[in-house]
Amino acid sequence: MSRQSSRLSSLPSSSSSPAASSQDGFARTGGSTMRTLADVRNQVAQSIAMRTLRKAQVVNGTKVAVVFTLSKNDDEQFLRNVASHIKLSFMLRQDYLFAIATTRASAISNNAAAVIICGSVRRMVQQAAMLTSAKFTNRVIEVYNEGTRWIGIVSELGSSLGDDAALWDVLKKSTQTLQDPARPPAGARSAAHMLADARARLERITPPQAYDELSGPATVMPTVLVDIRPDRYRARYGGISGALVVERAELEWAFDPQSDRRLEVASRYDLRVILLDQDGTASSLAAAALQDLGLLHATDVIGGFAAWIECGLPKAVQPSTFTRWEEDDDESM
């Protein structure tokens, strides 16, 4: 990612001082030799790098550390200098991931501070950068990203003790080894297994069977058809007249007889709820969830709305004709 236009103010170079600077980093005036500001700052950067190494902990085989230091006139360049010293110390040695941040009293802007995340593995640095942006939501502006070094400006960084703990948490999580997706942890089930388990509990019905149940007088229990598809699907493909429209996230609340947000029709456990989604996948999982609530007659339509249309059954083209459940409408009943 290229450097963004917002840059920190640059520190005046040592060549702007009256004394000319030599290649060894010292200014020479007459026969005497004196240290330049650049040389002093380099020594401070090296000192902070050594402090970071002493503070480091080993997590998942990687050394991690978080260090706060005083702000400099050019925080970005200074932190890059610290990172360079750290990299030299770890050449051909153990993996590392460090976060070095300036204090709130930064020269960048009021209540803002610079932080650099540097490491030996690009993946860890990039993951730490993303987690930092998530951890400090709406507080981070990325300034520089070259893979193994990331610099950002964080508002209010260091204003609370929680910031230090947050950065430690980011680094520790970023060192975690990527898991092989073919080796799930104990007790885990794939989505396919969850779907198979759900369908093993259901007596699923075809679209014609669902239509007959809804339109015929043979059933003893009350029966409702519930469309759980997102709005964009109904807007694109249409829907079925008379179907209740309940978003999947609200389904359990709408049909639990013990819920204070339930639909009026959901007042009994023998209610027959027939769920319908676009292809008959999510509806199976949702029907199993309703059975967990005690609605043992809940089921879903095989093939979903797509199969309903293929069978030539009635539908409505305009979504506005549907009976839609809204929380506010439910409370007003």
Supply the CATH number for residue 214's domain: 3.40.250.10
Six token digits for residue 303: 């093939």
- Per-residue confidence at 242, pLDDT binned at 50, 70, 90? confident
- Per-residue confidence at 209, pLDDT binned at 50, 70, 90? very high
Q: Quick one: angle between helices 282-292 and 191-200, nearest 10?
A: 60
Residue 54: inside a domain, yes or no? yes
Tell me which of 220 and 244 has the higher pLDDT: 244
- Per-residue confidence at 305, pLDDT binned at 50, 70, 90? very high
**What pLDDT, on a 0 to 100 scale, did the predictor assign at position 161?**
75
Residue 167: inside a domain, yes or no? yes
> 58 with 166, same domain?
yes
Give me the mean pLDDT over the 2-29 stretch: 42
Q: How many CA atoms lie within 13 A of 83 on its CB side?
A: 24
**What pLDDT, on a 0 to 100 scale, did the predictor assign at position 24?**
45
Residue 330: inside a domain, yes or no? no
> 202 with 171, same domain?
no
Residue 222, Ramachandran bin (φ over 0: left; ψ between -120 and 50: alpha; else beta): beta
**What pLDDT, on a 0 to 100 scale, did the predictor assign at position 188?**
83
> 165 with 205, same domain?
no
> 166 with 214, same domain?
no
Listed residues 143, 175, 207: the one ending a domain: 175
Give me the mean pLDDT over the 228-251 stretch: 92
Residue 49: inside a domain, yes or no? yes
**What pLDDT, on a 0 to 100 scale, did the predictor assign at position 76?**
78
> 171 with 203, same domain?
no
Residues whose CB falls within 8 Å of the CB of residue 303, separated by 6 or more in sequence, listed in order: 206, 207, 279, 280, 310
> 250 with 150, same domain?
no
Tell me which of 188 and 131 has the higher pLDDT: 131
Query: DSSP labels for 153-164?
Result: EEETTTSSHHHH
**What pLDDT, on a 0 to 100 scale, did the predictor assign at position 232?**
92
Cβ-contact 265, 273 below 8 angstroms: no
Q: Count CB atoms within 10 A of the CB of residue 4.
A: 11
User: Looking at the predicted structure, is the pLDDT value of residue 3 above 70?
Assistant: no
Listed residues 111, 140, 175: the one ending a domain: 175
User: Looking at the predicted structure, is the pLDDT value of residue 162 above 90?
Assistant: no
User: Looking at the predicted structure, is the pLDDT value of residue 10 above 50?
Assistant: no
Tell me which of 36 and 325 has the higher pLDDT: 36
User: Looking at the predicted structure, is the pLDDT value of residue 13 above 70?
Assistant: no
Residue 32: inside a domain, yes or no? no
Q: Hey, what's the torsion of the CAs at 64, 68, 74, 78, to 10 degrees?
A: -40
> 148 with 44, same domain?
yes
Tell me which of 322 and 115 has the higher pLDDT: 115
Closest CA to 21 of 10, 11, 36, 43: 36
**CB-based burial label for 309 (10 Å; 0-12, 13-18, 19+):** middle
Six token digits for residue 100: 């070095």
User: Looking at the predicted structure, is the pLDDT value of residue 320 above 50?
Assistant: no
Across the chain, where does the E strand assignment appear?
Answer: 26-29, 32-35, 57-59, 62-69, 96-102, 112-119, 140-145, 149-155, 223-227, 244-245, 272-276, 299-300, 323-324
**pLDDT, the chain, mean:** 81
Least confident of 61-70, 284-293, 309-318: 309-318
Supply the CATH number for residue 165's domain: 3.10.310.30
> 156 with 209, same domain?
no
Task: Determine what percent of the chain is predicted with pLDDT higher than 90.
Answer: 46
- Per-residue confidence at 32, pLDDT binned at 50, 70, 90? low
d(CA 261, CA 250): 9
> 203 with 130, same domain?
no
**What pLDDT, on a 0 to 100 scale, did the predictor assign at position 72?**
58
d(CA 56, CA 62): 9
d(CA 207, CA 239): 14
pLDDT digit string, tens, across residues 59-102: 989 999 999 887 656 677 888 888 888 888 776 578 999 999 88
Residue 186: inside a domain, yes or no? no
User: Looking at the predicted structure, is the pLDDT value of residue 103 above 80?
Assistant: no
Give me the mean pLDDT over the 107-122 stretch: 78
Residue 29: inside a domain, yes or no? no
Give me the phi and psi of 279, to 5 degrees please. -130, 5
Q: How many CA atoms lie within 13 A of 163 on its CB side?
A: 23
> 305 with 247, same domain?
yes
Six token digits for residue 98: 């460090």
Give me the phi and psi of 311, to 5 degrees please. -80, -5
Residue 276: inside a domain, yes or no? yes
User: Looking at the predicted structure, is the pLDDT value of residue 46 above 90?
Assistant: no
Give me the mean pLDDT over the 17-43 stretch: 59
User: Looking at the predicted structure, is the pLDDT value of residue 189 above 80?
Assistant: yes
Residue 183 is classified by DSSP as: S
Domain count, the chain: 2
Listed residues 175, 190, 213: the one ending a domain: 175
3-class SS of residue 66: strand
Tell me which of 174 and 5 has the higher pLDDT: 174
User: Looking at the predicted structure, is the pLDDT value of residue 106 above 50?
Assistant: no
> 147 with 211, same domain?
no
> 250 with 217, same domain?
yes
Range of the domain at 271: 198-311
